[in-house]
Each structure stands twice: as C-alpha cells, then as structure tokens.
Amino acid sequence: MAVRIDCPPRLIRAVLFDFDGTLADSYAAITASINHVRAAHGLLPLSEDEVRKFVGRGPAYLLGHTVPGSDVDADYALYRAHHPAVMRAGTRLLPGAAELLVRLKELGLRLAVCSNKPVGYTRALLADFAVAASFDTVLGPEDVGQPKPAPDMLQAALARLGVTAEEALYIGDMTVDIETARGAGVAVWVVPTGSDSREALTAGKPDRIVNDLAELAMLLNQ
C-alpha cells in the first residue's frame, strides 16, 4: 500500500526514522555516559543541554566535542562499558511514537530506523519499548561504509525494504538528517524535538517541518 505526501507530491511505501531526538528522548542516558567519561579525566560534568547539541553525528563527533583533547577510541570504550547501565532508565519514547508506528503498519507501510547511534543500543531499546516488531529493518553506522550525513545508511535501508528513493520518506530531527536524505534522493520531514533548533532546521530547508509525532501521524493518515 502507498500513502500520498504533498511535500513534495509523491506516493510513499516506506518511512525511515532517525532514533535519538526523533522517536526517543535519550539525552539523559547519553549525558550520564559522557559525564562518566569526563569524570575519568577529572573533568566536571556537563548539563544535558550542553551535551544535546552534539548528539546525532556519531560517537567520534560526540566525544570529540564533549571530552576534548583525549583519545576518542579509549573514551568510546569507556562510554560503551558504562552506557548499558543507564541506557534504559535514561531513555523514553517521545509522546505519540508507539501509536504512530502502529498506525503506519496498519497502513501497510514498510518501516526502518537509520541512526548514527550504535545499532545494538537502538535494537535493545526498541525491544525494551515493545516496538521492535514495527520495523522491517534497523540500521546503524556499523552496517554501512560511512555514517550520516553520507547517504549509505538510507540507501542500504531502501535496498532491504525493496523500495525506491522516490517511494520513501525520512523523518529526522537534525540538519544532518536533511543532508543525508538529500544525498539519497529521499524526501525528508523533520521534527524540532531533538538536537537542532527550529531555526536551524528551517535554514536546512527540509521538505516539511512537523511539530511533533502526533501531527506526523495525522499527515500520513490523510
């Protein structure tokens, strides 16, 4: 089954989602693990707002901007050792996410996650929130040659889902998601619920800015 969207006009058969800031608020968990790494270097903790703006571009970017001047590989090992202890308690689905996924599956759409978050974390959280069955495929940076903003992850998802770029819609919360979608030739809508401000998203020129997941559900249900 295909669903019509009007920005730009096309019939879509698949919806691809970012994860952090789009489907889930995981900033408390990410901040806790960043501060664990910072503590190992004798650095003071950062606030969630200070960490938020660096989330979404992959672990090297996140750690490089929040734990400056250190060994990113060693710090990432510290981060990964700590994160499972805080990941579930510090992450929540955004309002309307579970209901949206159920409705999109009822409409017959194929669904995927394409996130720069380590894919094992994404899959574990989707299972914990009892929404894993909604997705036909879940991809992370480990699954492709390059993380977002390279188009590799979206292109891999399209191949797995058996749809063309013209038949897909990508939903994200950052300008990096807009850039990724443009590189893959996929229409992109964004929600201002993550790392980038509405002003930054507007400047990135997505096909549409949607206020929240409830509005997204309404638009895709027309």
| pLDDT tens per residue across span 93-129 | 999 999 999 999 999 999 999 999 999 999 999 999 9
What pLDDT shows up at residue 174?
96
Residue 157 has pLDDT above 70, yes or no: yes
pTM for this prediction: 0.93
Q: Grade residue 150 by pLDDT with cuts at 50, 70 and 90.
A: very high
Distance CA(210)–CA(18), nearest Å, equals 14
Query: If you average pLDDT over residues 60-70, what whole number do you get?
Result: 90
Residue 17 has pLDDT above 80, yes or no: yes
CB atoms within 10 A of CB 94: 19
Distance CA(28)–CA(85), nearest Å, equals 12
Position 217: which residue type? A
Query: If you average pLDDT over residues 196-216, what whole number do you get?
Result: 96
Distance CA(118)–CA(109), nearest Å, equals 25
Q: Tell me the C-alpha to C-alpha distance, in Å, between residue 192 and each of 22, 36, 99, 181.
A: 8, 28, 19, 17
Annotation marks residue 49 as catalytic: no
Residue 18 has pLDDT above 70, yes or no: yes
Residue 1 has pLDDT above 70, yes or no: no
Q: Which of 6, 18, 49, 152 is catalytic?
A: 18
